[in-house]
């Protein structure tokens, strides 16, 4: 039987100090954990260089395939499906980008980044040894998934330290098109339901979308990404697109420097949209099939605006969220960017193909020729009809880019800025 004590009104509320119990003074005198030492500039430089190599490789891969996909597809005798070499790459990235954000919260940033590097390398190896078109596309899917994680994780770590099947292969009114849209809608509803009602650890916290600033940041980046496709809709442009690459690089670096010094990003987003609208308007008015090297510089404002918008949009997002949501929000941003590219590509492709058919049929009728005679008479007046129809379709594609850039401008103007 345990001993009992007789407490009275004068008994102390706290027991007498015994071995194993400490006092408040003991806690105050206990050694406090040392604050983590700041990383050295050399360490930060090594990390940034390693991340830049990965991001550069991922983007260089996309640029190389964009320029060479007709040649690659021709080697396999499947030129009609050449666009799937980069569309499959981007679709895989869009499907997996948000997953990497959540996985990095569980397993750590470095582990997921290394996994993505390995996945990208595996995909590139499959592309290199592929003996058929479908094997190469499979490799592009795998490398696209790895590339998405490489770019998303790089941004997260830095902060810590058109489908041509529609309207071309089959008509837009084909049941398959409606089935694909319906399937996408069902999967989207299922995703929202599972993430909001069932998942204990959601891949993407949907509550982030209730933050107007987050939604605006996503819309800015998606619209700007969709707009930039107007300047790559014609693969024959080739080296004429180089000023856009330079503008993109300068815009991204300059935006980072300006934001670091001023703590402001809204004005940069407005300037980015204005710069893009200027560039696409110049292309719409001046590019008519005979572009000189001097007029190739019209793509520079578009590239500059895209670089600024991506950097400033990312900062805008980070300034609007709780730090614990950083990885998921960043992955969502890159996903919306990829979706914007896909929508822009699909829209531009549909416009060019649709107008080309309409224009060619109308002009050939005026010449008194049928479509069956095109193959035998693709010279002289017929050749001019085909070229003019294609160029005019590209001009309408530039108009779509202006619309997307206008959405960016309006959204950026409505953005509430937080001083950093």
Q: Identify whether the C-beta of residue 355 lies closer than 8 Å to the C-beta of residue 399.
A: no
Output 23 or 158, whichever has higher pLDDT: 158
Q: What is the pLDDT of residues 73-101, one digit of tens each?
A: 888 888 777 778 877 887 888 778 778 87
Residue 122 in this model has a pLDDT that exceeds 90: yes
**Strongest mean pLDDT among 100-109, 166-175, 390-399:** 100-109
Across the range 26-45, mean pLDDT stands at 58
Cβ burial, residue 275 (10 Å; 0-12/13-18/19+): buried
Q: What is the pLDDT of residues 253-287, one digit of tens each?
A: 888 889 888 888 888 989 988 988 888 888 888 77
Residue 293 neighbours by CB under 8 Å, 6+ apart: 240
Distance of CA 79 to the CA centre of its chain: 26
Query: Which of 165, 132, 131, 149 is CA-nearest to residue 92?
Result: 149
- Crossing angle of helices 84-107 and 133-160, in 10° steps, is 40
CA separation for the pair 209, 335 (Å, rounded): 14
Within a 10 A sphere around the Cβ of 216, how many other Cβ atoms? 21
Q: For 371, what's the count of Cα atoms within 13 Å in the CB-facing half-sphere?
A: 7
Range name among 28-32, 86-90, 404-408 with the lowest pLDDT average: 28-32
CA separation for the pair 139, 121 (Å, rounded): 10
Look at the pTM and tell me if it is higher than 0.75. Answer: no
Query: Which of 178, 340, 312 is CA-nearest to residue 253?
Result: 312
CA separation for the pair 214, 324 (Å, rounded): 15
Query: Which of 201, 158, 208 is CA-nearest to residue 321?
Result: 208
Write phi, then psi, for 172 (nearest 5 degrees): -65, -25
Three-state DSSP class for 166? strand
204 bridge partner residues: none
Under the banding of pLDDT at 50, 70 and 90, the label for residue 237 is very low
Residue 175 in this model has a pLDDT that exceeds 50: yes
166 bridge partner residues: 170
CA separation for the pair 285, 282 (Å, rounded): 5
Q: Identify whether the C-beta of residue 128 lies closer than 8 Å to the C-beta of residue 182.
A: no
Residue % of the chain over a pLDDT of 90:
4
CA separation for the pair 298, 247 (Å, rounded): 11
Output 288 or 394, whichever has higher pLDDT: 394
Within a 10 A sphere around the Cβ of 249, how many other Cβ atoms? 13
Under the banding of pLDDT at 50, 70 and 90, the label for residue 3 is very low
Residue 359 in this model has a pLDDT that exceeds 50: yes
Output 166 or 53, whichever has higher pLDDT: 53
Residue 18 in this model has a pLDDT that exceeds 90: no
Under the banding of pLDDT at 50, 70 and 90, the label for residue 125 is very high
CA separation for the pair 343, 67 (Å, rounded): 20
End-to-end CA distance of the chain: 66
Under the banding of pLDDT at 50, 70 and 90, the label for residue 238 is very low
User: Tell me, what's the pLDDT at 138?
Assistant: 92
Across the range 44-73, mean pLDDT stands at 77
Range name among 45-49, 58-62, 111-115, 232-236 with the lowest pLDDT average: 232-236
170 bridge partner residues: 166
Q: Where in the chain are the domains?
A: 40-161
Residue 171 in this model has a pLDDT that exceeds 90: no
User: Tell me, what's the pLDDT at 13?
Assistant: 46
Within a 10 A sphere around the Cβ of 135, how many other Cβ atoms? 14
Three-state DSSP class for 221? helix
CA separation for the pair 241, 297 (Å, rounded): 8
User: Tell me, what's the pLDDT at 26?
Assistant: 47
Mean pLDDT of the chain: 74
Under the banding of pLDDT at 50, 70 and 90, the label for residue 1 is very low
Q: What is the pLDDT of residues 298-340, one digit of tens each?
A: 888 888 888 888 888 888 887 877 777 777 777 777 778 777 7
Under the banding of pLDDT at 50, 70 and 90, the label for residue 53 is confident
């Amino acid at each position: 039987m345990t001993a009992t004590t007789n407490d009275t009104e004068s008994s102390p509320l706290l027991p007498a100090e015994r071995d194993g119990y400490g006092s408040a003074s003991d806690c105050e005198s206990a050694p406090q954990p040392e604050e983590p030492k700041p990383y050295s500039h050399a360490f930060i430089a090594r990390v940034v260089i390693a991340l830049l190599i990965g991001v550069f490789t991922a983007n260089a891969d996309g640029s190389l395939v964009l320029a060479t996909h007709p040649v690659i597809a021709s080697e396999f005798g499947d030129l009609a499906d050449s666009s799937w070499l980069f569309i499959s790459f981007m679709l895989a990235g869009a499907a997996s980008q948000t997953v990497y954000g959540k996985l990095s919260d569980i397993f750590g940033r470095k582990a997921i980044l290394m996994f993505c590097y390995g996945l990208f390398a595996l995909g590139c190896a499959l592309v290199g040894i592929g003996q058929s078109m479908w094997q190469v596309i499979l490799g592009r899917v795998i490398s696209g998934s790895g590339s998405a994680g490489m770019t998303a994780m790089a941004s997260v770590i830095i902060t810590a330290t058109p489908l041509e099947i529609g309207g071309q292969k089959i008509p837009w009114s084909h049941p398959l098109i409606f089935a694909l849209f319906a399937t996408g809608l069902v999967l989207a509803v299922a995703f929202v339901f599972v993430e909001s009602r069932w998942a204990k650890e959601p891949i993407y916290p949907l509550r982030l979308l209730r933050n107007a600033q987050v939604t605006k940041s996503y819309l800015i980046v998606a619209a700007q990404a969709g707009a930039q496709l107007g300047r790559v809709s014609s693969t024959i442009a080739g080296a004429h697109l180089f000023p856009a690459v330079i503008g993109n690089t300068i815009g991204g670096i300059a935006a980072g420097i300006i934001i670091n010094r001023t703590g402001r990003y809204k004005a940069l987003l407005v300037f980015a949209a204005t710069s893009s609208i200027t560039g696409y308007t110049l292309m719409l008015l001046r590019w008519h099939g005979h572009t000189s090297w001097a007029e190739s510089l019209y793509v520079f404002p578009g590239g500059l605006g895209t670089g600024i918008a991506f950097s400033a949009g990312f900062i805008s997002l980070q300034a609007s969220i709780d730090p614990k949501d950083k990885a998921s929000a960043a992955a969502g941003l890159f996903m919306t960017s990829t979706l914007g590219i896909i929508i822009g590509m699909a829209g531009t492709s549909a416009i060019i193909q649709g107008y080309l058919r309409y224009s060619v049929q109308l002009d050939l009728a005026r010449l008194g020729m049928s479509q069956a005679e095109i193959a035998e008479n693709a010279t002289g007046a017929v050749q001019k009809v085909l070229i003019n129809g294609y160029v005019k379709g590209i001009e309408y594609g530039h108009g779509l880019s202006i619309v997307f850039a206008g959405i960016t401008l309006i959204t950026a103007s409505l953005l509430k800025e937080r001083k950093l």
